[in-house]
Structure 1
């Protein structure tokens, strides 16, 4: 029997790459998008789900379970970028980002856990970010939302382990996707104290994404994790320096590490 996989945010980018790859490997794949309007153009099943609207989460999960009778893997991939100096970024936009990147994935986990407990098995992969391991300038809210999801994953994994369920983090670095176009960019305000440095860093961030890795690398790592009997809690997928930056944060004094980041971001 092929495993049934539900992937949020599967209409583009990493989510779409994972969905197509797992489908090619024989999995029964359900991807989600905020709308089913273009469902026919995807090779996998597409269901409507907006992680910021709990009613749509419940409806989508119930639809999958009603059709398949089970749900083996949840890949919490839906997310949204946000940039801007903390002082300049509207608080409402910060809250909106946390609704998508943090509270949304929690609601999806809540929706699938009863079925996984019933099956006495299941795997939840929360797609976080290497940025969640450090506070990055002009991406502080994004770093915070993904870092918070990392910690929630750790806690949830310990809570549900007794039911035969594993909850793991998969933290990607920069991948060549359309995430930059979907970000909320705090405007470069003319009277902002951060105007010049923020404008420079916006261009730098976009160049990182356009020069990023192929999303198929993430898809292959996800398959490897699904096929692992006793998966780790934390996985990082990215370039050598991206992953090494996490190691450096652990071993360097705080001020030394911040200096490295500030030099990189020309601050």
Structure 2
């Protein structure tokens, strides 16, 4: 059987790297992307291309290079993303725009770049890595939740728009996993003269603890592999611990104010 070619954005570390290593071990031809190959001179886990999802010229160059080498692209995993925390009132507009540029506009740019080739092939799979946080407005993570929730909805629309091309598009929403996302996250500073000082400071600490104690990202890799092997993928997939996935069920069945109270209690607000 011919090997499938997989492209993973944000593949040099964290969840993306775990996905790439696992898929390579399963016989896939794997390409990951990074904004700067110079930062990873000894990277040998799989092929690495320089690409910034915020810059269309780098996307075009990377896709051209990939097709030159392999002649096709079977799977795109839109994994590149950034974290952002803070009271929305105190989060600078420029930082909100940056987060959406990476988490929302970036995956759309990538899908636009690969769809012509997938349409030509009459086959292809796009997996958008979103977040369980994208299903709810989390306090002090509202912008992150919104950017991931927006990608969930765009995926729903694009699935229907591309159904006649032999292309499948789906969402995979992870919960908290132990990655380096916190180190690259923008967080509004905890200001001593702010009305949000105490609740935001405590919530930020809780968020960091959740990430640090998160699960092994290999769980996400296993889920991606399972999706690739599924002939007709569902619209939405989730991966995370029981309580994270159970929280989504609660959101469906509980009155809004009751669910809001659960979140407030969880974050001790």
Q: TM-score range by the shorter chain?
A: over 0.9
Task: Give 1:35 deviation, angstroms.
Answer: 1.1
Aligned to 2:237: 235
Distance in 2 (CA, whole Å) between partners of 1:167 and 1:65 is 20
Task: Give 1:66 deviation, angstroms.
Answer: 1.1
Structure 1 39/230 Cα, relative in aligned 2: closer, same or farther at 3 Å? farther
8 Å contact from structure 1 (residues 39, 46) kept in 2: no
Aligned to 1:79: 81
TM-score, with structure 1 as normaliser: 0.99
Task: Give 1:40 deviation, angstroms.
Answer: 3.5
Task: Give 1:2 deviation, angstroms.
Answer: 0.4
Aligned to 1:14: 15
Aligned to 1:158: 160
Distance in 2 (CA, whole Å) between partners of 1:144 and 1:30 is 29
Task: Give 1:196 deviation, angstroms.
Answer: 0.6
8 Å contact from structure 1 (residues 39, 45) kept in 2: no
Task: Give 1:36 deviation, angstroms.
Answer: 1.5
Distance in 1 (CA, whole Å) between partners of 2:242 and 2:111 is 31
Corresponding position: 1:101 with 2:103: yes
Question: Deviation above 4 Å: which 4+ runs of structure 1?
Answer: none
TM-score, with structure 2 as normaliser: 0.98
Aligned to 1:2: 3
Q: CA RMSD in A?
A: 0.7
8 Å contact from structure 1 (residues 157, 166) kept in 2: yes
Aligned equivalent of 1:131, options 125, 133, 141: 133
Aligned to 2:60: 58
Distance in 1 (CA, whole Å) between partners of 2:18 and 2:44 is 11
Deviations 1:27-64 (A, max 9, x none): 00000000121254222100000011111011111110
- 3-state DSSP of counterpart to 1:10: coil
- 3-state DSSP of counterpart to 2:97: helix
